[in-house]
Structure 1
Amino acid sequence: MTNLDDLKNKASEVIDDVKLKAKEAKLGAEKVADDLKHKAKETLLKGEQAVNDLKHKKDDEK
Protein backbone atom coordinates (compact mmCIF):
# COMPACT_ATOMS: atom_id res chain seq x y z
CA MET A 1 0.00 0.00 0.00
CA THR A 2 1.11 3.49 -0.67
CA ASN A 3 1.01 6.39 1.68
CA LEU A 4 -1.90 7.78 -0.32
CA ASP A 5 -3.90 4.59 0.17
CA ASP A 6 -3.12 4.66 3.88
CA LEU A 7 -4.31 8.24 4.11
CA LYS A 8 -7.51 7.42 2.22
CA ASN A 9 -8.24 4.53 4.56
CA LYS A 10 -7.55 6.64 7.63
CA ALA A 11 -9.76 9.43 6.28
CA SER A 12 -12.54 6.92 5.66
CA GLU A 13 -12.24 5.64 9.24
CA VAL A 14 -12.34 9.17 10.62
CA ILE A 15 -15.41 10.02 8.52
CA ASP A 16 -17.20 6.90 9.78
CA ASP A 17 -16.33 7.80 13.38
CA VAL A 18 -17.57 11.36 12.91
CA LYS A 19 -20.85 10.10 11.43
CA LEU A 20 -21.39 7.81 14.42
CA LYS A 21 -20.60 10.59 16.88
CA ALA A 22 -23.04 12.89 15.08
CA LYS A 23 -25.79 10.26 15.32
CA GLU A 24 -25.05 9.78 19.03
CA ALA A 25 -25.22 13.53 19.60
CA LYS A 26 -28.51 13.75 17.71
CA LEU A 27 -30.04 10.97 19.80
CA GLY A 28 -28.82 12.65 22.97
CA ALA A 29 -30.34 15.96 21.92
CA GLU A 30 -33.64 14.28 21.05
CA LYS A 31 -33.72 12.64 24.48
CA VAL A 32 -33.09 15.96 26.20
CA ALA A 33 -35.86 17.58 24.14
CA ASP A 34 -38.27 14.77 25.00
CA ASP A 35 -37.38 15.05 28.69
CA LEU A 36 -37.99 18.81 28.60
CA LYS A 37 -41.35 18.33 26.89
CA HIS A 38 -42.35 15.82 29.55
CA LYS A 39 -41.29 18.15 32.38
CA ALA A 40 -43.20 21.03 30.78
CA LYS A 41 -46.36 18.92 30.56
CA GLU A 42 -45.95 17.84 34.19
CA THR A 43 -45.53 21.46 35.26
CA LEU A 44 -48.58 22.52 33.26
CA LEU A 45 -50.65 19.76 34.86
CA LYS A 46 -49.51 20.78 38.35
CA GLY A 47 -50.46 24.37 37.56
CA GLU A 48 -53.91 23.31 36.36
CA GLN A 49 -54.37 21.24 39.52
CA ALA A 50 -53.39 24.22 41.67
CA VAL A 51 -55.87 26.46 39.86
CA ASN A 52 -58.62 23.87 40.31
CA ASP A 53 -57.78 23.49 44.00
CA LEU A 54 -57.94 27.24 44.49
CA LYS A 55 -61.18 27.49 42.55
CA HIS A 56 -62.83 24.74 44.61
CA LYS A 57 -61.47 26.13 47.86
CA LYS A 58 -63.01 29.50 46.97
CA ASP A 59 -66.34 27.80 46.17
CA ASP A 60 -66.25 25.96 49.51
CA GLU A 61 -65.78 29.24 51.39
CA LYS A 62 -69.04 30.67 50.02
Structure 2
Amino acid sequence: MRQALHSVSDRMLGLFLPKARAGACACFPSDSHYEYRCAGFTYQRRWCRYSCTCNKTCDAWVTIGNC
Protein backbone atom coordinates (compact mmCIF):
# COMPACT_ATOMS: atom_id res chain seq x y z
CA MET A 1 0.00 0.00 0.00
CA ARG A 2 2.80 2.41 0.86
CA GLN A 3 4.53 1.82 -2.51
CA ALA A 4 1.29 2.51 -4.37
CA LEU A 5 0.82 5.76 -2.43
CA HIS A 6 4.37 6.86 -3.26
CA SER A 7 3.85 6.06 -6.93
CA VAL A 8 0.64 8.09 -7.10
CA SER A 9 2.23 11.02 -5.26
CA ASP A 10 5.21 10.99 -7.68
CA ARG A 11 2.82 11.13 -10.63
CA MET A 12 0.89 14.03 -9.09
CA LEU A 13 4.11 15.94 -8.39
CA GLY A 14 5.18 15.37 -11.98
CA LEU A 15 2.00 17.07 -13.19
CA PHE A 16 2.69 20.26 -11.24
CA LEU A 17 6.49 20.52 -11.52
CA PRO A 18 8.29 20.23 -14.82
CA LYS A 19 10.89 17.49 -14.77
CA ALA A 20 13.74 19.90 -15.53
CA ARG A 21 12.83 21.98 -12.47
CA ALA A 22 12.04 19.10 -10.13
CA GLY A 23 15.72 18.47 -9.49
CA ALA A 24 17.16 21.26 -7.38
CA CYS A 25 20.57 22.81 -7.86
CA ALA A 26 23.18 21.35 -5.58
CA CYS A 27 24.72 24.72 -4.71
CA PHE A 28 21.92 27.12 -3.85
CA PRO A 29 18.30 26.88 -2.70
CA SER A 30 17.22 29.59 -5.15
CA ASP A 31 18.35 30.11 -8.69
CA SER A 32 17.82 33.91 -8.84
CA HIS A 33 17.54 36.89 -6.51
CA TYR A 34 18.13 40.62 -6.11
CA GLU A 35 21.26 41.99 -4.44
CA TYR A 36 21.21 45.43 -2.83
CA ARG A 37 23.93 47.90 -1.85
CA CYS A 38 24.54 51.50 -0.83
CA ALA A 39 27.13 53.08 -3.11
CA GLY A 40 27.94 56.49 -1.71
CA PHE A 41 24.51 58.10 -1.35
CA THR A 42 22.67 55.95 -3.89
CA TYR A 43 20.73 52.75 -3.14
CA GLN A 44 21.23 50.18 -5.88
CA ARG A 45 20.07 46.69 -6.81
CA ARG A 46 20.87 44.07 -9.42
CA TRP A 47 19.36 40.75 -10.51
CA CYS A 48 21.62 37.72 -10.05
CA ARG A 49 21.27 34.11 -11.16
CA TYR A 50 23.06 30.94 -10.13
CA SER A 51 23.50 27.99 -12.42
CA CYS A 52 23.54 24.42 -11.15
CA THR A 53 27.30 24.45 -11.68
CA CYS A 54 27.58 27.23 -9.04
CA ASN A 55 28.37 30.03 -11.52
CA LYS A 56 26.89 33.40 -10.57
CA THR A 57 25.94 35.99 -13.20
CA CYS A 58 24.45 39.40 -12.43
CA ASP A 59 22.96 42.29 -14.37
CA ALA A 60 24.35 45.81 -14.02
CA TRP A 61 23.66 47.82 -10.84
CA VAL A 62 20.55 50.03 -11.12
CA THR A 63 19.95 53.05 -8.88
CA ILE A 64 16.58 52.83 -7.12
CA GLY A 65 16.84 55.60 -4.53
CA ASN A 66 18.98 57.30 -1.90
CA CYS A 67 20.66 55.76 1.14
TM-score interval, normalised by the smaller of the two chains:
under 0.3
The structure carrying a bigger strand percent of its residues is 2
State the TM-score, normalizing by the size of structure 1. Answer: 0.28
Query: Using CA pairs below 8 Å that are at least 6 residues apart, which structure has the higher relative contact order?
Result: 2
State the TM-score, normalizing by the size of structure 2. Answer: 0.26
